[in-house]
A and B are shown apart, each in its own frame.
Chain A
Amino acid sequence: MARYLLRRAVQGAFVLWAAFTAGFVILYLLPSDPVEIMLASTGSMGELDPGAVAALRAEYHVDEPFYVQYGIALWRFVQGDFGTSIPQRLPVTELIGQALPETLGLAGLAFAIAVVLGGGLALLTGYLRGGRLRWLLLSLPPLLVSIPSFWAGLILLQVFSFRLGWFPAIGNRGFASVVLPAVTLALPTAAIIAQVLIKSLRQTWDEAFVVTATAKGASRLRVLFVDVLRHASLPSLTLVGMTVGNMLAGAIVVETVFSRLGVGRLVEQAVSAQDIPMIQGLVVLSALVFVVVNLVVDAVYPLLDPRIRPSRAAT
């Protein structure tokens, strides 16, 4: 088990390194000059003399060849240093560290809502045998997938904040302010969970052990929850890793719509200001989230399905 964990940790480190490199290549290799972008964004393009620009270039190592730049950046990355945010003049890690708890809270609540909503929808359609209600429920996930989260968020704002006044419209104050953003963030994820779970529930109903359970006289509800659900939830679990990544991406839009502080807002601001070190740090952060979530998912697999043992999963 210890060897397995070690191996996974090495794999995770590799993904982080690769994401860092991918981000570096995209951000530094494409035909653009970070110093020029920086000067243009601060509006001091024409004011500085060539000497000062050259000094700035040297400070950010832009004048070095690519492999030297990469080496410097990689050495810093290993030490956990992502440089300084260009417009804010603060370390990237500090800014991300401040924003992360807000986004984690938002994403955590959204994830819980998505699981309850999506799982409930799938289970209800799995329980119903037919009829208009089932048809209606089945048409919900494709509809939810098609709704852009910025639009869903604005509609929720209009109805629940402005018309009904149940929730505050913007900001990070208290639990009430996180409800609408979390629901907005949860909707597309819930739809995806429901789609995958509905499909695997449907396939599981045809399995021999389900027939056996039914033949032994178990009620449909019992078969659904005890036999079918456990077997059918594996594909959805695989989905979780991707879902969490999507939540991070969704937070970019949702936090902008609801004017909340958080990592998503940082992304939006960093892109607006073309803040390259910040973007680089956020790309690595998303890879880190991906690695951690997949580790957790792999750890949960054997609990659901005893046939999957770490030794086998590692091969």
Chain B
Amino acid sequence: MSDPATTLPGGPAPHEPSDPGTPGLPPGPDSGLGPASVSVSGFGPVSEPASDLDSEPGSGSDLGPDTASRLGLPRRGTGGARAIVRRPGLVLSVLFLVLVLAWALTPGVFAPFDPLVGSPKDKLLPPNGTYWFGTDHLGRDLFSRVVHGASLSLTATALAVLVGFLAGSSLGLLSGYLGGRFDDAVMRCVDVLLSIPGLLLSLAVVTVLGFGTLNVAVAVGVAAVAGFARVMRADVLRARTQVFVEAAEALGVGRWRSLIRHVLPHAVGSVLVMAALEFGTAILAVSSLSFLGFGAPPPAPEWGSLVSEGRNYLVSAWWLTTLPGAVIVLTMLATNRVARALDAGRGDDR
């Protein structure tokens, strides 16, 4: 993912206004620089990457006193394994995501009970040794339902990101490469789509497509298309003026071949990072739509609808809403953490 030296000095991926929250924020321990160190203006770019690397809140490693060794951890260097050891937050995030993915792929291995059939005599039990997350009003094991729900929820999330990524980046690719009227038209559409809140846009699409996990996924993906298109276009515009692209075209490489072979590989990086960041947003959107009741029909366990079902027992059974929601929060935290690491790894936070 490292950028070849051919990129413009401006760095490869500006933060687009469409993704303001999660990506930014490299809060380093050094923001309170005294005037003395500020005056050495040449040090700006040197100290910045170091703070990107291991200042992520949650990792805890930015409290480490060994500033010198931190500065000696260049992201393009060979110390990748060491850097990971120094970032327990990132390692935990990856491990958690692997666990959740395993839930989604082989729920039977992890779920101790049937997610759909309960034992009525055990209904509404609080969390205990047998039922880790407690049981619901039909005596179904909540943990098993969460484990099985991972499959539906994560499939929908992945599909949403895929739809947004494929449609958005091909639109942005064409728009940036063809330019002219087509570019103008596409970008005006993108502006309009960005002016409508994503959740509302998804809901409009769900209204037309109907309910269900698949439709929710498509709807969330459609809402993400505009953002992807905009980032992709910006990078294509930057890439197509590069010398090697001009060289290829001067050598007689066709327009489309040049687009696919030369421009695309160079422009796809920041869209891929955006796709990683979009995962967190998509988990949130998918579970919100599912919470509102537009996802899979009732007996099927989906993370958002699990929380929604628990609403009826808010007073008597806190675990029914709290624990599935906590799993969603942890998944989002882990996803965002990994995505931020990828983002910082690209070195565009300069």
Asked whether, in the complex, the Cβ of B195 is within 8 Å of the Cβ of A146, the reply is no
From A46-54, A103-111, A130-138, A172-180, give the one contacting chain B: A130-138
Q: Which residue of A lies closest to B188 (CB)?
A: A18
A157 to B311, CA, bound (A): 10
* Chain B hits for A142, CB < 8 A: 22, 25, 57-58, 333, 336-337, 340
B228 adjacent to chain A (CB < 8 Å): no
From B5-13, B240-248, B289-297, give the one contacting chain A: B289-297
B178 adjacent to chain A (CB < 8 Å): no
Q: Which residue of B lies closest to A139 (CB)?
A: B57
* Chain B hits for A253, CB < 8 A: 199, 288, 291-292
* Chain B hits for A30, CB < 8 A: 205, 208-209
Interface flags, B21-42, vs A, CB<8A=1, else 0 = 1101111110111010011000
Asked whether, in the complex, the Cβ of A151 is within 8 Å of the Cβ of B329, the reply is yes
Asked whether, in the complex, the Cβ of A195 is within 8 Å of the Cβ of B24, the reply is yes
**8 A Cβ contacts from A120-179 to B:** 125-126, 128-130, 132, 135, 138-143, 145-151, 154-155, 157-158, 162
Asked whether, in the complex, the Cβ of B29 is within 8 Å of the Cβ of A141, the reply is no
From A63-71, A280-288, A298-306, give the one contacting chain B: A280-288
Known: A130-B29, A192-B20. A248 touches B287 (CB 8 A): no
A132 in complex: contacting residue of B38, B63, B209, B322, CB < 8 Å: B63
- Chain B nearest Cβ from A195, distance in angstroms: 5
Looking at chain B's contact residues, the main secondary structure is helix
A185 adjacent to chain B (CB < 8 Å): no
A249 to B284, CA, bound (A): 12
Asked whether, in the complex, the Cβ of A125 is within 8 Å of the Cβ of B195, the reply is no
**8 A Cβ contacts from A248-276 to B:** 248-250, 252-253, 256-257, 267-268, 270-272, 274-276
- Chain B nearest Cβ from A245, distance in angstroms: 4
Chain A CB count within 10 A is highest, among B196, B304, B322, B333, for B196
B199 in complex: contacting residue of A27, A198, A249, CB < 8 Å: A249
A-B contact count (CB 8 A): 205
B224 adjacent to chain A (CB < 8 Å): no
- Chain B nearest Cβ from A257, distance in angstroms: 8
B149 adjacent to chain A (CB < 8 Å): no
Asked whether, in the complex, the Cβ of B197 is within 8 Å of the Cβ of A245, the reply is yes
* Chain A hits for B210, CB < 8 A: 32, 274
- Chain B nearest Cβ from A305, distance in angstroms: 18
Asked whether, in the complex, the Cβ of A271 is within 8 Å of the Cβ of B207, the reply is yes
* Chain A hits for B307, CB < 8 A: 150-151, 154
B332 adjacent to chain A (CB < 8 Å): yes
A215 in complex: contacting residue of B35, B199, B203, B325, CB < 8 Å: B35
Known: A129-B32, A151-B328, A206-B44. A191 touches B21 (CB 8 A): yes
A135 to B61, CA, bound (A): 10
A211 adjacent to chain B (CB < 8 Å): yes
B182 adjacent to chain A (CB < 8 Å): no
The number of chain B residues with a CB under 8 A from chain A is: 69
Asked whether, in the complex, the Cβ of A205 is within 8 Å of the Cβ of B20, the reply is no
Asked whether, in the complex, the Cβ of A279 is within 8 Å of the Cβ of B318, the reply is no
**8 A Cβ contacts from A229-252 to B:** 238-239, 242, 245-246, 248-250, 252
Interface size class of A (residues with CB under 8 A): 35 or more
Asked whether, in the complex, the Cβ of A158 is within 8 Å of the Cβ of B314, the reply is yes
Chain A residues near B (Cβ < 8 Å): 15, 18-19, 21-23, 26-27, 30, 32, 125-126, 128-130, 132, 135, 138-143, 145-151, 154-155, 157-158, 162, 188, 191-192, 195-196, 198-199, 201-202, 205-206, 210-211, 214-215, 238-239, 242, 245-246, 248-250, 252-253, 256-257, 267-268, 270-272, 274-276, 279, 282-283, 286-287, 290-291
11 contacts between A and B (CB under 8 A): A22-B189, A27-B207, A32-B209, A135-B60, A142-B57, A148-B328, A199-B25, A249-B199, A252-B292, A257-B311, A290-B196
Instruction: With A154-B322, A206-B33 given, name 16 new contacts (CB 8 A).
Output: A18-B189, A18-B191, A26-B208, A138-B57, A142-B22, A142-B25, A142-B333, A146-B332, A148-B287, A151-B326, A158-B318, A202-B31, A205-B31, A245-B197, A252-B200, A283-B196
Chain B residues near A (Cβ < 8 Å): 17, 20-22, 24-29, 31-33, 35, 38-39, 44, 57-58, 60, 62-63, 188-189, 191-193, 195-201, 203-210, 280, 284, 287-288, 291-294, 304, 307-308, 310-311, 314-315, 318, 321-322, 325-326, 328-329, 332-333, 336-337, 340
